[in-house]
């Protein structure tokens, strides 16, 4: 489990295309400082397993076809900046919200509106995710735990907005975001459980 509090921005240093999979090598000195084989590290919000550690503070992960299909990792190349977070320690502070590292879909940045003290980013949602996104609720964007500051719908589809403070822009890759960029989205897991229980009418669903 993760919290959506990004620990550092890493860089993809190698990408090997495999049969219905990919192997990524990511440099991240902070997240690899105590990492071991088999540990979980979120890369742009995707929970991945460390398969190898490199001498320069990097780690290698294998990304299967399902993950490539459901996330934006397939679009990333060597040199791309990614948000990194180690799995949450049981005795650590819970600074964000419950993040599983299981991406629900890919959104598209539709607008970026800077102001003197923050930046508002509008993201178009996949239709199936819009019901989970509510104003003042939590959502994970490329692994960053954020509060939804607005929701709406127009000719471009359903969208939500997030308001980013300078610290978030500086310490995550959202500070480099551009209109048209894809971003990984994970809806609040509580909303999904509530929907499931409501649909089942509170009864066992075999």
pLDDT digits (tens, 9 = 90+) for 132-154: 999 999 999 999 999 999 999 99
Claim to verify: residue 54 and residue 113 sit in the same structural domain: no
Final residue in a domain of this structure, among 86, 120, 136: 86
What is the pLDDT averaged over residues 95-114?
94
The answer to whether residue 44 is domain-embedded is: yes
Shared domain check, 14 and 65: yes
Tell me the CATH number at 116: 2.40.30.20
pLDDT over 90 (residue 196): no
Domain that holds residue 57: 8-86
Mean pLDDT of 185-193: 92
pLDDT of residue 191: 87
Helix, strand, coil share (%) of the chain residues, nearest 5: 15, 45, 40
36 has pLDDT over 60: yes
Torsion of CA 26, 29, 35, 37, to 10 degrees: 30
Residues 55 and 114 in one domain: no
CA distance 76 to 89: 28
Query: Considering Cα of 39, then 101, then 24, then 178, what sign does the dihedral take?
Result: negative
In a domain, 203, yes or no: no
Which percentage of the chain shows pLDDT scores above 70?
A: 97
Asked if residue 2 belongs to a domain, the reply is no
Residues 117 and 81 in one domain: no
pLDDT at 95: 85
The answer to whether 107 and 183 are in contact (CB under 8 A) is yes
Does residue 206 have a pLDDT over 60?
Answer: no
Tally of domains within the chain: 2
Note whether residue 94 is domain-resident.
no
d(CA 76, CA 171): 19
What pTM does this model have? 0.92
Choose one of 29, 56, 86: the last residue of a domain: 86
Average pLDDT estimate for 152-180: 95
In a domain, 200, yes or no: no
pLDDT at 203 over 70: no
> Are 124 and 60 in the same domain?
no
Find where tokens 């993809």 sit.
12
Give ∠ CA 52-91-141 in degrees, rounded to 5. 65
What band does 16 get if pLDDT is binned at 50, 70 and 90? very high
Q: Are residues 69 and 113 in the same domain?
A: no
Q: Is residue 206 part of a domain?
A: no
> For residues 162 and 133, what is the distance between their CA atoms, to the nearest angstrom?
11
Indicate if the pLDDT at residue 202 is higher than 70. no
185 and 109 together in one domain: yes
Is the distance from CB of 185 to CB of 129 less than 8 angstroms? yes
pLDDT confidence of 90, banded at 50, 70, 90? confident
Confidence of residue 111 (pLDDT cuts 50, 70, 90): very high
């Amino acid at each position: 489990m993760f919290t959506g509090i990004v620990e550092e921005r890493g860089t993809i240093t190698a990408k090997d295309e495999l049969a219905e999979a990919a192997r990524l090598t990511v440099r991240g000195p902070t997240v690899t400082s105590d990492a071991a084989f088999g540990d979980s590290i979120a890369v742009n919000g995707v929970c991945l397993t460390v398969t190898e550690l490199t001498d320069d503070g990097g780690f290698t992960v294998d990304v299967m076809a399902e993950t490539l299909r459901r996330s934006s990792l397939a679009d990333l190349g060597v040199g791309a900046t990614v948000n990194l977070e180690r799995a949450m320690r049981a005795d650590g502070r819970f600074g964000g919200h419950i993040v599983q590292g299981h991406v629900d879909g890919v959104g598209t940045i539709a607008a970026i509106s800077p102001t003197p003290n923050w930046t508002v980013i509008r993201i178009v949602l996949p239709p199936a995710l819009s019901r989970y996104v509510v104003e003042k609720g939590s959502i994970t964007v490329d692994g960053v735990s954020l509060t939804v500051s607005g929701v709406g719908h127009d000719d471009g589809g359903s969208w939500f907005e997030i308001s980013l403070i300078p610290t978030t822009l500086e310490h995550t890759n959202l500070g480099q975001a551009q209109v048209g960029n894809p971003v990984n989205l994970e809806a609040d897991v509580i909303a999904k459980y509530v929907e499931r229980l409501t649909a089942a009418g509170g009864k066992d669903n075999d």
